[in-house]
Structure 1
Amino acid sequence: MTSQCTGVDRAHSGSGFALNDVAVRLGVQCVPADANESKTVITGISQDSRRVAAGEIYAALPGANQHGAAFADEAAARGAVAAVSDRPCPPLPTFVVDGPRRILGPLAAWIYGEPSRHLDVFGVTGTNGKTSTAYLLSAGLRGAGTEHGLISGVSVGGPQGEHPAVRTTPEASDLQRTLASLRAQGASAAALEVSSHALALHRVDGIRFRVSVFTNLGPDHLDFHSDLENYYAAKARLFAAERSAAAVLNIDDDHGKRLGAELDIPHRTFSTTSTAADFYAEHITADEHGTSFVLHHGDERGATVRLRLLGAHQVDNALGAIAALALAGVDLDSAVAGMSELTSVPGRMQRIDAGQPFLAFVDYMHNTAGQHRQFRYLRSLTDGKIVVVLGATGERDPSKRQPLGATAGTLADIVVVTDESPFSDDADELRGDIVLGARSADHAAIVVEPDRAAAFATAVALTGPGDVLVVAGRGHDPIQTFGAVTRAFDDRVELRNALEHSILLGDR
């Protein structure tokens, strides 16, 4: 699909309400009053002052560091006709409301014609597996011949193309505009990755989900949610009756079982261990070429599913996608056939092959639950060494760092510690926490190389024939950030470069 901010998208999404219609909708008047309130036609709404277009409302939201009201002049210069905020935003007439984040999603949905009421929206939330499940849903919909969109942390796409994602789940106004654009492009469904931040910050308010999927839950983002209970509560919001019509739950996860007991909407379960689940898998095999399993559901028994995606954990993701599509009435034979054509999910156990005599992967594993799942698979591929390149991203939960190092130090044989994106944090401190954790395992050899490209070269040199090398933590992210400085750095590209350079030098 075209960019969220193109004229094409805006032309298809605005519904032509006037400012006085917005006043009635919100129950407040502009401050100061606008003499043209009944004539000024609203073309859209945006929370980004740099991208607001003529005729749009500017949503001036409170932020972590600055308030959107500080950028009202810029929004006005770009043609915004009013603002909505928790304070006046001169020079724009402002609808002053309590909690503007809470009203932004429903207001944007109304402005853009309630697009989720005209689409089968599949939401996916959980700690791990969200992106892969969303991609599998997309592949299943494609296999069934359904025009649809995919909104994930990797990309946003639809019938007319795609563009890179900015965050896991877009801000509410961007999200509603995107759904409206998908509808205008002829889509009848959308797969949407839903983060806990998006739920806590009301980004998906105003969306009606046809089916929502719960993958799993483990400690993550506790810098934002403070504890696991608050993290679970944020995830559980997706499954409220006013938001989702139905649910699909992983009952191999204790939080999935708990969620099932608390829901008052129709739901189905999936499992790789329990035949009591509505959808369950047996005879799971995973090798360097793909993953297969035997699917059981309802009266259907013994259908073999073959995926090109790598790792047994992809069976969980496939089961969640299959169950969700079945619950929505999608033809499963066609959907499963579509899933079998999905070759990879960007940055998720993505194989990098330059002709080297060992397996090499880039993976997003960025928490200990993901590490346990992925290292189990990697160990099944080799009788030799596992070499992992690992770092810690800055401005994230610091309590994750040492456990990440400890898990890698326990499950790998060589840990090459390097920089990810420190942002404003001290890079030496980030590396030091990973090293401290890795050393506590008293198992793996540890090498420290701050420069990420040099760390890749070091890791390649330490990996022998028949071994396995994995670059962990960043996945598809193409940018490294050091304070105010950014540079292009795609782990998939740079790992391939390191492998090719090693072969060129005759090291292999």
Structure 2
Amino acid sequence: MRMTTVREVAALLGDSSLVSQIESSLTGISQDSRTAQPGDLYVALSGSRHHGIDFADEAKRNGAVAILSDRDSHTLPTIVVADPRRVLGPLASWFHHHPSRALDVYGVTGTNGKTSTAYLIDAGLRAAGVTSGLITGVEVRGRGEPRRAVRTTPEASDLQQILATFAAQRLSAVAMEVSSHALALYRTAGTHFGVGVFTNLDRDHLDFHADMDAYYSAKASLFTPGRCDSAVIGTDDEFGRRLAAEVDVPSTTFSTSDAGADFFVDDVRADRAGTSFTLRCDLGTLPVRLRLLGHHQADNAAAAIAALYAGGVDVPSAIDGIEKLDLVPGRLQPVDEGQPFVALVDYVHNTAGQRRLFPYLRSLTSGRVIVVMGATGERDPGKRDPLGFNAARQADVVIVTDESPHFDAAYDLREEVASGARRARSAEVMTVADRAEAIATAVARATPGDVVVIAGRGHDPVQVHGNVETPFDDRAALKSALRQRQSVAPSWSSEG
């Protein structure tokens, strides 16, 4: 970390009121008053319910020596700027000696596929002999033990600290998810990306973005000169084609529908054992066999391979690593307790994901597809009814349950999803509020040859009701339900 003072930072940010007054040393930056450390600059931002300045006393008790905010405070010397979010990323990058310049940063953005693509890039880097770190909504991993992620893309000060740690660990590269929230809220400002990847774009997060154009603009902001050296763009949707036409950095395209793309995915086949496809590109015709499940993983693997090619990585070695990756947590993750039906946990939480998921599930069985699903609270309300409708159009049994209501009414969330499912008039629809009970109900109703999928939460280890977080893992709950049924009916009879 850089040795600096409150006065130096104030001067850097243009607040002349503190330039001649404060010599206190700064040893860190924190956006959370609860975790502020002695010598920290506490960054007090405006939130959805509270302003960080309200917690200045707590930050001071924990040792913070100054505040950065858009409001003044009598608690500690305060550097006041018009938009602290906008300056925080570059400030934190400067404070940590610009760590992204010491790393090859692969940033993955898009509606679906970010997590899987980041994992695939990481697997390819490692197989090619590149020491890499990983920043996803699942985990943050460098050398040593990984830690659970708090959000898809860390807050600006946390991100720069993570990147600095990776640089200090002498890692050479990092694969990371870049959410639209992170881009709109400047969390990645101050981070330089060697390769930016755009997977796709479909309706999501319209509780945060005003409309699809605003959502697209947030994503597209990653691919600007000075911020990103090169772009890898999926062109199977209108937004990808738009980005490919508008981008001002060198770009590489990938597609499953356009044979003219730089990396064309052909002959995709997905079964219970994995996914195979042929990749046609300047390197030749490359056969790829993934251990990951689902047709959509061919898209993600193509994105990863194209990104590694753009980053100058040895592609044959990278493909070998990509083919050996056997799990992305919570992404069509099988749970097997010897039951005579397929049981999976998946993160699918929007209609675009459903359109890819359910045909694959249907291909696995001549029996029924049983889905447990719901809608997360405080998210785009306009997608709840379509989620239920699409699920019921493609599944045989839809069990609507709670995900994480947050401060929304759980009953209303269930009813909006269930109403859409009933509107389809093509599946049995039921509501079971308790998620563990809903999962047990799905398992109890399954017969040999069926497919059960627990959808919507994937790897998420907690449920959130208001201010209360309760440990809950769909994978563990599904495993428990399967074991319970086996203990009652060890023969797994077909009577349900």
Q: Aligned ranges for residues 263-274 of structure 1 at < 5 Å?
A: 263-274=247-258
Give the structure 2 partner of residue 233 of structure 1: 217
Q: Aligned ranges for residues 58-457 of structure 1 at < 5 Å?
A: 58-298=42-282, 300-457=283-440
Structure 1 counterpart of 2:7, one-letter code = N
Runs of 4+ off more than 6 Å: none
Give 1:30 shift.
4.8
* SS state at 1:409 partner: helix
CA distance in 1, matches of 2:63, 2:108: 36
Per-residue CA deviations over 1:97-154 (Å, capped at 9, x if unaligned) read 1100000000000001000111110000000000000111111111112111100000
* SS state at 2:207 partner: helix
Do the aligned residues in 1 keep the contact of 2:193 with 2:229 (CA within 8 Å)? yes
CA distance in 1, matches of 2:42, 2:197: 32
Give the structure 2 partner of residue 22 of structure 1: 9
* SS state at 1:407 partner: helix
Q: Where does the alignment leave 5 or more consecutive residues of structure 2 unmatched? A: none
Give the structure 2 partner of residue 473 of structure 1: 456
Do the aligned residues in 2 keep the contact of 1:44 with 1:112 (CA within 8 Å)? no
Give the structure 2 partner of residue 5 of structure 1: none
Structure 1 counterpart of 2:315, one-letter code = L
Give the structure 2 partner of residue 8 of structure 1: none
Give 1:226 shift.
2.0
CA distance in 2, matches of 1:275, 1:372: 22
CA distance in 2, matches of 1:359, 1:34: 68
Do the aligned residues in 2 keep the contact of 1:148 with 1:188 (CA within 8 Å)? yes
Structure 1 counterpart of 2:15, one-letter code = V
Give 1:36 shift.
4.4
CA distance in 2, matches of 1:485, 1:96: 33
Structure 1 counterpart of 2:5, one-letter code = A
CA distance in 2, matches of 1:381, 1:30: 67
Do the aligned residues in 2 keep the contact of 1:285 with 1:292 (CA within 8 Å)? yes
Do the aligned residues in 1 keep the contact of 2:37 with 2:62 (CA within 8 Å)? yes
Give 1:75 shift.
1.2
Do the aligned residues in 2 keep the contact of 1:418 with 1:450 (CA within 8 Å)? yes
Structure 2 counterpart of 1:272, one-letter code = T
* SS state at 1:361 partner: strand
Do the aligned residues in 2 keep the contact of 1:405 with 1:438 (CA within 8 Å)? yes
* SS state at 1:460 partner: helix
Give 1:24 shift.
2.6
Do the aligned residues in 1 keep the contact of 2:348 with 2:455 (CA within 8 Å)? yes
Do the aligned residues in 1 keep the contact of 2:143 with 2:169 (CA within 8 Å)? yes
* SS state at 1:283 partner: strand
Structure 2 counterpart of 1:361, one-letter code = L
TM (normalized to structure 1)?
0.95
CA distance in 1, matches of 2:461, 2:228: 33
Q: Where does the alignment leave 5 or more consecutive residues of structure 1 unmatched? A: 1-13
Do the aligned residues in 1 keep the contact of 2:207 with 2:378 (CA within 8 Å)? no
Mean Cα displacement is larger for which, 153-162 or 350-359?
153-162
Mean Cα displacement is larger for which, 163-172 or 480-489?
480-489
Give 1:161 shift.
2.4
RMSD after superposition: 1.2
Structure 2 CA distance for partners of 1:30 and 1:115, relative to 1, 3 Å = farther
* SS state at 2:93 partner: helix
Number of paired residues?
491
Q: Aligned ranges for residues 32-51 of structure 1 at < 5 Å?
A: 35-37=21-23, 40-51=24-35
